[in-house]
Structures are given as structure tokens and as C-alpha cells.
Structure 1
């Protein structure tokens, strides 16, 4: 492996998303880059989530979420929703409510309204496999790619060093 593993892993192409979760009246949103389509029939997405975060508890209890696609110009949104120290990350933004009841970020390029099918263990994360129940384009544009976020998420420090 290379000494700069974080640069190597950033070459894997994937976008940056805001995941909106809800359980009853409780709502939250977080930044995710590890989202992938995993099935055509039914249409399903897989989302990687840290089980130590509050959003994971809401996802487990509510069983619903939205995947909101960020545009190339929306780096600041990715940074904002990636900061777990902000008490009410959703305040000050416009939200719609999906058919499932999960929050849709009105400024996103597109959204997928999902219901959790099942979970899988994945090292220090959990994979939520979700069935897409509805989707839509809100603002056509070019998606923000994970590679374009630099070390915004602090992941560089998490990659193992060569021995």
C-alpha cells in the first residue's frame, strides 16, 4: 500500500449526500459519501453509517430516510451536515417531507425516499440496505464528488499507516 492511502481511496468515484432520517417527531441529517445502488428489482440503495451517531438511532427506530444528492457547488452543505458538534444541524435550511415522512433537503439536486430493508455489519460502520419508494430531481446539476471534499471528514488520520 501507499503511504498516502487516503488519496488512493479518494480515487474511488462516489458522490456526497445528505441523509435525512426521522423517527416520529425526531429528525436529523448527516453527510455521507458511501452510498451505492445495490439492486434494480426492487430498486435499493446501501448507505454506510457510523452506529455511534445519533442519526443511526433515528434510522433504526424510524426505519426511513432520504438520500439527498449534493451539487458540485454545495461543499459548505456537506461540511455543515458532517459536523456532529452542531446541536440542530437542520435549522435554517428548507426541508420538504417525503412520502415516508423523512426530510428532503429542498436545495439538493435530487432525492431518494427510502425504507430500510435490513442492516449488515461493516467494520466500524453499519450498512443500511434501503428500498427506494420514491425519487425526484429538484435542481438539475453536476453532483459533488467525494474526491472534491479533500480531508473535510478527517478520514486521512483514520487510514492505517504502512508497517
Structure 2
């Protein structure tokens, strides 16, 4: 059993290293929600993963908002709010409300709910709430809501962990026998091609997690290196949007890479890889090549050739640029509270 023990990555007094403590909290995957309220003069909304259910009878839920949030005042005095649980194809909506934009609601479709709070169209679930209570909890305000109206749509939830978005995937141990395996394979037969790509990338990302830990990479850090590779200097915000990552986690990784000499700063706010950063990136590619060889050893080379050609055609197609990064570098990753 000793060889199965997990590596200790960091620990100690959370007050001494808040970033490490946030990474520890990030090992608890959550869903992704957007909370909205009518506000005074203009609606307010934030992206939140501090959501939890409290009680079924009465129907109570909670979430928290940082005192430093630009929307704190609006929620501190609101009488009602709506919580939206996002679907796996709503990363873009999440990033709109996680941004510092002053005009978030012009970028999404919405309508007024029963309480008057804005309801975002096509959210996987909405919970329209009356504010039941508020409590001060350190640097956050904890909001308790009584649900007066709700709705649930078909689909799968978006997830978030360690600064990365993710999708739901059955655990391999679920396929404990041939019947389960056939059920899963039939389920895969029903999925669209692009969803299969996302699920395959998610599986690869999870398989590589132990190697990242041994090599000293964080999940976000490895994606930051990928995002900066062969790119013009990018801002932290462009990296976060292009790689579908939490902006604060991206900034943390960039600060570490700056201190280690793996990235250089241009114009005071743009980042690019140095030679040592490119060397770190090459080490990642070498390991990925070995991993690929192990994983695809039983796949017919002819099938691999066809699949590679199809993927290259898709990635080279129109409208595949996002935030200065090629979509090939984008990854649905797999919480910390990342309120804007």
C-alpha cells in the first residue's frame, strides 16, 4: 500500500500562504453558478461556485460574495436574487459574469423572474429567491435565500476545480462489468463528435495529473505555458479567456513563472515565454508523446491517421480563434470562490 500513497504537495499555516490554501480548497470540485439581482438602476450579476443547498423544508440555499466584489453593494442591500446553475456548454456565460465588464447583461439573453431578478435564458437550473438572511463571514458576506420559484432544463452541469472548467464523466470504476461497459459504449455512440473530443481531452487531463504533480506543474500553470507557446505576448485576461481558466489562478501562475524566469513581462501587462519557459514546455511535450504512445498502442495506425486528419481539419477551420489563442490549446479542465 505504501507505493499508493499520494505525494504531499504543500501545507501548513493558511495565513502564511493564501495561494496554497486556495489551491487546497480547489481540490473540492463544484458546479458553476451565476447569481443575479435587479439592483438599483441596473441589474447586477456575478459568477460564483460557493453555492450550496441548506434545507428542503423550507427550501433554503446559500452562497457568498467577497467584500471586494464590485457587485457587493448591490447584493448587500437586495431583497431578492436568482441563482443559475450553468450547463456544460455555458463556459462563455460564466466568463462574462466573472469579468469586470460594466455591461454584462447586454451579452446574454435574459428575462425577469417571479421576484423581479434577472433570469438567464437556458441555464441548466434557476432558483429564484427571496433574501432570507445575511451573515458576515471573514472577507465574505454569506447570503441565505428562500427559493420561491425554480426550473430545471435537460443537460449536464458545468464543473470547476483548481481554476479550470470541466464536464461530467462517469468514473472508470463504474464500468465494473461487461454489462456496464456495453452501456457506456452505447452512451458514447449517441454523443456528437465534438462532445467526444471534449470527453477524451478531459480523460487525458485527469490521467496526466499525477505526472504534473511530480514535475512541479500546477494544472493551471501547465495550461498557461501552453497558452503562451508560440503566441504573441498576452495579458493575463487574454490567457484566462482563451484557455477557459480562472483569472486569479492565471495571475498566480504568471507571478510564479516570472519569479522563476520562465516568462518575461512586456509593456507592463503582457507576458511571453523565455527560453527556460520554452524548455519547460518542451519537457511537457516529450512526456505527452510518451503518454500518447502508451495510450494508443492498440489503435490501428490507419484509424489514427484518419482521426488526426479530421481533427486537424476541424482545428484549422473558420472561426477557431479565441482571445489570441488557437483553439487547439483550449482544454475543458476540471473551488475557490471566483466572484468578479
Q: TM-score, normalised by structure 1?
A: 0.84
User: Aligned equivalents of 2:40 and 2:150: distance in 1?
Assistant: 21
8 A Cα contact 1:16 1:146, kept in partner:
yes
8 A Cα contact 1:21 1:55, kept in partner:
no
Quick one: structure 1 residues 2 and 119, their matched pair in 2 at CA, closer, same or farther if it must change by over 3 Å? farther
- Does residue 141 (structure 1) correspond to residue 235 (structure 2)? The answer is no
Residue 154 of structure 1 aligns to a residue whose secondary structure is: helix
The residue number in structure 2 matching 1:60 is: 76
- Does residue 112 (structure 1) correspond to residue 206 (structure 2)? The answer is no
Give matches, 1:70-149, under 5 Å. 70-84=86-100, 86-137=101-152, 139-147=153-161, 148-149=164-165
5+ unaligned residues in a row in structure 1: which ranges?
A: 158-163
Higher strand share: 1
List structure 1 segments (4+ residues) > 3 angstroms apart after TM superposition: 4-8
Which stretch shifts more, 145-154 or 1-10? 1-10
Structure of higher RCO (CA pairs closer than 8 Å, 6+ residues apart): 1
Which stretch shifts more, 31-40 or 69-78? 69-78
Instruction: Give the paired residue count.
Output: 155
Cα RMSD after superposing both structures: 2.0
**How much does 1:115 deviate?**
0.9
The residue number in structure 2 matching 1:154 is: 248
Residue 100 of structure 1 aligns to a residue whose secondary structure is: coil
Q: TM-score, normalised by structure 2?
A: 0.42
Residue 29 of structure 2 aligns to a residue whose secondary structure is: coil
Which stretch shifts more, 43-52 or 127-136? 43-52
Residue 75 of structure 2 aligns to a residue whose secondary structure is: helix
Say which one has the larger Rg. 2
- Does residue 23 (structure 1) correspond to residue 39 (structure 2)? The answer is yes
5+ unaligned residues in a row in structure 2: which ranges?
A: 1-7, 11-19, 166-219, 221-244, 253-340
Residue 119 of structure 1 aligns to a residue whose secondary structure is: strand
